[in-house]
């Protein structure tokens, strides 16, 4: 069993302080890197298919704009699942707020958070907010020989109608050599995937050779090609929604949402899971 998937036996149940909010489960991996998520469920069979809206956004730990502004943007997008990068949990610079759970409660989601590294009295990492049931969660380390800091993937499966859809999110290093190394490692670890999205901040532009090789190895396709290929941070396009080959044909739309409360733009994709 890998370090990233090994759980300690203890489970801490926390009661919500908000009326009507579901109980949240907090578990820890073998190194104490916290994962926060609702009680996992089995996806029901025989359910009617549902369409899906997914989004991804690097929120810069709410250091570029207020957390309330980030929540307002998330609410306006109205995604079923949204992946967030650069998320602070109880750090000094963020006033001790658990940003993942605060945003989830404010915008009407359940939160999944995986720590990349401890910092400033708390944790820093990536999160997935979901309005649809979560069926599995796994945190995976990325290769870090060249990296400026630890980097991870958060692999979450959600129930959409009667099936699981896999949403993998990551935030790779800003150093190009490290980013290329980590993307190559992801390609080797994931292999060819199906019924899956990989989303997040890859810090590589579309013409990068390592990124192109990653797409070939995994069979993932960039759903923004031919739709909205504008920059996602400054003048660079480094944030992505990538879909497995079996889902590429089900994309109904893909667009950027520009906002001043982060240095990245938010990406939104609509997925048709029902037959026409």
Q: Domain locations in the chain?
A: 50-271
Partners of residue 112 on adjacent β-strands? 128
**Residue 24: what pLDDT?**
63
- Beta strand 239-244 pairing with 220-222: antiparallel
Which CA distances in Å does 104 have to 20, 115, 156, 191? 14, 17, 16, 31
Name the token pair of 107.
């915008």
3-class state of residue 51 by DSSP: coil
Each residue's pLDDT tens digit, 161-191: 888 999 999 999 999 999 999 999 999 999 9
**Residue 16: what pLDDT?**
31
**Residue 23: what pLDDT?**
56
CATH topology of domain 50-271: Deoxyribonuclease I; Chain A (3.60.10)
Measured CA to CA, the distance from residue 47 to residue 175 in angstroms comes to: 45
Q: List helix spans (H) across the chain.
A: 67-77, 99-107, 176-190, 209-218, 245-248
Each residue's pLDDT tens digit, 137-154: 999 999 888 999 999 999
**Residue 39: what pLDDT?**
83
**Residue 8: what pLDDT?**
25
CB-CB neighbours of 220 under 10 Å: 25
Question: Within the chain, which residues score under 50 in pLDDT?
Answer: 1-22, 276
Residues 6+ apart with CB under 8 A from 5: 29, 138, 139, 140
**Residue 274: what pLDDT?**
60
**Residue 49: what pLDDT?**
67
């Amino acid at each position: 069993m890998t370090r990233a998937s090994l759980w300690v036996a203890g489970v801490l149940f926390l009661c919500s302080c908000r009326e009507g909010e579901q109980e949240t489960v907090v578990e820890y991996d073998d190194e104490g890197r916290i994962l926060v998520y609702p009680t996992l469920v089995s996806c029901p069979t025989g359910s009617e298919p549902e369409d899906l809206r997914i989004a991804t956004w690097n929120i810069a730990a709410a250091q570029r704009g207020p957390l309330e502004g980030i929540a307002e943007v998330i609410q306006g997008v109205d995604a079923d699942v949204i992946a967030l990068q650069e998320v602070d949990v109880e750090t000094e610079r963020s006033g001790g707020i658990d940003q993942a759970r605060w945003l989830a409660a404010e915008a009407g989601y359940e939160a999944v958070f995986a720590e990349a590294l401890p910092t400033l009295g708390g944790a820093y990492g990536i999160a997935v907010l979901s309005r649809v049931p979560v069926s599995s969660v796994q945190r995976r380390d990325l290769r870090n020989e060249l990296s400026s800091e630890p980097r991870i993937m958060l692999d979450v499966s959600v129930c959409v109608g009667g099936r699981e859809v896999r949403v993998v999110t990551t935030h790779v290093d800003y150093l190009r050599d490290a980013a290329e190394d980590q993307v190559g490692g992801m390609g080797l670890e994931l292999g060819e995937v199906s019924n899956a999205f990989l989303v997040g901040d890859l810090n590589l532009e579309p013409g990068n050779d390592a990124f192109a090789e990653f797409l070939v190895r995994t069979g993932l396709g960039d759903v923004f090609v031919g739709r909205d290929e504008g920059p996602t941070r400054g003048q660079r396009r480094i944030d992505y929604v990538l879909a497995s080959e079996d889902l590429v044909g089900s994309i109904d739309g893909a667009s950027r949402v520009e906002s001043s409360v982060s240095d990245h733009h938010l990406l939104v994709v609509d997925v048709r899971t029902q037959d026409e």
